[in-house]
A and B are shown apart, each in its own frame.
Chain A
Amino acid sequence: MADDALEAHGVAKVYRRGAAPALAGIDLAIRKGSITALVGPNGAGKSTLMKAWVGFERPTKGRVLVDGIDPFTKRGDALAKVGYIPQQTALYRELTVADHLDLVGSLLPAFDRALALRRLDDLNLPTDRQASQLSGGQQAQVALALVLASGADIFLLDEPLAALDPLARREFLYLLVAGVRERGATAVLTSHVVTDVEQAADRLVVLGQGQKVLDEDVASAVAAHRITTGDAPDIHGVEFVASFLGLGEIMTLVRVAPDHGPIDGLRSATLEELMLGYLAAGRPGMVERVRSGTAGR
């Protein structure tokens, strides 16, 4: 659709015959101007989906679109719209930060070198330093500056915070959100730790075992879910989603009707609890074993 920056239609990906699919038929649409958190455990298919949008991993079935463009038939047109930061920051160890700006500038006529320099200057990042001399956080900031100055409207960031300390994460997210909102761009961030991205995202997509288990606006998702310890209460308008292991106790996630007021014993679920609950749904094994007392034997 015209309002969608990124689309996935029935996308499946199998890397090796006989192996479990990395993606098992994903249908997804990312609205233009949104910041989406694409979360899930390791192996859920988040990176595979990102790489499909960038044209690196061709789906076994289905198709992906970038602003309506197929990245496998019109790669150049699709890549012109996208700025991508991979899981491992792809900087050249022997090149300085300034060299990286020169490199991207030589490959991309639309590259705004002055903007990239301003962003790096705001962070007091010296441009004469080699990438190998930068910390993980600084390398991520350089990658972000390159991407924000690339003229792209769609940013795909694969686990951008994984190697960053808490302060560096805050700085990164702040600059990312500011950069994205400034121009009404679209961003998708993946993480296996949802607390990293919850404050930046306005949409949450949870992938589990190659499938989409949740796709909802953050505000409405938080409003529509409650959490409790023990079993779900038997109340009209409260629907059981899943039970999962909390810290020393079993947590139960429920979905409530939109107009339901506060319920005793239930509190608002955090995004992490939302993710855990939807991932646990359909995988009750560990919880059942804890309940029956057979876990760990």
Chain B
Amino acid sequence: MRTTIRLTFKQHRFGVLGFGIILVAIAAGAAALGVYFNSLDIGTCATEVSEACNAIAQQMGAMVGPMYLLRGASVPIAILAGVFVGVPIVASEIERGTAILPWTVVRSRVRWFLPRVLIVGGVLAFLTALVGLSLDAMHQSLYPLVPITADLNWYEARGWLVPARALVGFAVGVLAGAALGRSLPGLFAGLVISGVMLAGTFAVGGTLNQTHVVDVSGDPGALRLTLALHDHTTGAYMGYEEAEQIMWPGDPAFTERFEEVYLGVPGSSSVLVVTRDVAIHGALALMALVAAAVVVDRRRPY
């Protein structure tokens, strides 16, 4: 196995090193911001207004740009990394004609394919997990009073979903490279297909989140989905149009009866929601890898 690890890295070192440096830089940046925000002691200003808190707010404001940049770029970069290191696993072998050597020697092509996928995928998972956890640490430093395990704010751009998304990109890249047998077309196809699949996971996750919404107005870690009105008389939740059918909004009693609330997913469901979404991504990645293994087993090595 050590030989396989050494030779796999030797063959794929440029992609792995290149994106590895970028991912480590992102993780380091997020961790550094987390340390910085922690040093500002933001938690003391959650309910306090003072000169000191104004100064803290200004210091925070100076770093908001880099924070948003890291938060916004991390997931796309993780997915790009997945596709870019996944495509050449098979595509470069077929393109250069080198697949003939292992595929005429090994009794099962899957025995050749699987270790390489696990090695490169494993490194990718580790590096993107570093990014995800560093982003978690940065997020926690911004919301110190909300436990990270009960916080769904920005959950899709941090934590375990970062490696999960990267691995979908990786698996789709491997499949595209294996099917097309060419690196550049594989990259285009991998990026397009993984983009479509990940957009689909957003949609699926969003739909599932909508199925069990509750009043989360007082929950700082909640995922707020809809603004609604709570009827104190009947206890029902409804939209503005429905409330207007019951009482004229201009009526002074309207605001006594109807309270504006947020419906969403409570922060306490964070572990469940993240686990569910990671499982969906994991299933997609596994399906793509199984399909890639079938392609490798059946196709010509050129």
Q: Contact residues of A with B, CB < 8 Å?
A: 54, 56-57, 75-77, 79-80, 82-84, 86, 88, 90-95, 99-100, 102-108, 111, 146, 150
Also in contact, A102 and B3, with CB within 8 A (given A91-B98, A95-B10):
yes
Count B-side interface residues using an 8 Å CB cutoff: 23
* Interface-located stretch among B103-111, B258-266, B284-292: B103-111
Residues in B lying within 8 Å of A, measured CB to CB: 3-4, 6-7, 10-11, 96-102, 104-108, 111-112, 300-302
Find chain B residues with CB under 8 A from A82 CB: 104
Looking at the complex, which one of B6, B99, B100, B106 makes contact with A107 (CB distance below 8 Å)? B106
Beyond A56-B300, A56-B301, list 20 extra A-B contacts (CB 8 Å). Answer: A77-B107, A79-B104, A79-B107, A86-B97, A90-B98, A91-B98, A92-B11, A99-B7, A102-B3, A102-B6, A102-B7, A103-B7, A104-B105, A105-B3, A106-B3, A106-B4, A107-B105, A107-B112, A108-B105, A108-B106
> Which B-chain residue is minimally distant from A109 (CB atoms)?
B107
- Shortest distance between the CB of A103 and any CB in chain B (Å): 6
Chain A residue nearest in CB terms to B102: A107
Specify the chain A residue showing the minimal Cβ separation from B104. Answer: A84
Question: With A79-B104, A103-B102 in contact, is A90–B97 under 8 Å at CB?
Answer: yes
24 residue pairs A–B, Cβ–Cβ below 8 Å: A56-B300, A76-B107, A76-B108, A77-B107, A79-B106, A84-B104, A88-B97, A90-B98, A91-B98, A91-B101, A92-B98, A94-B11, A95-B10, A100-B101, A102-B6, A102-B7, A103-B3, A105-B3, A106-B7, A107-B106, A107-B111, A108-B105, A108-B106, A111-B105
Contacts of B102 in A (CB 8 A): 103, 107
Contacting pair B105 A99 (CB below 8 A): no
In the complex, what distance in Å separates the CA atom of A93 from the CA atom of B300?
21
B10 / chain A contacts, CB cutoff of 8 Å: 94-95, 99
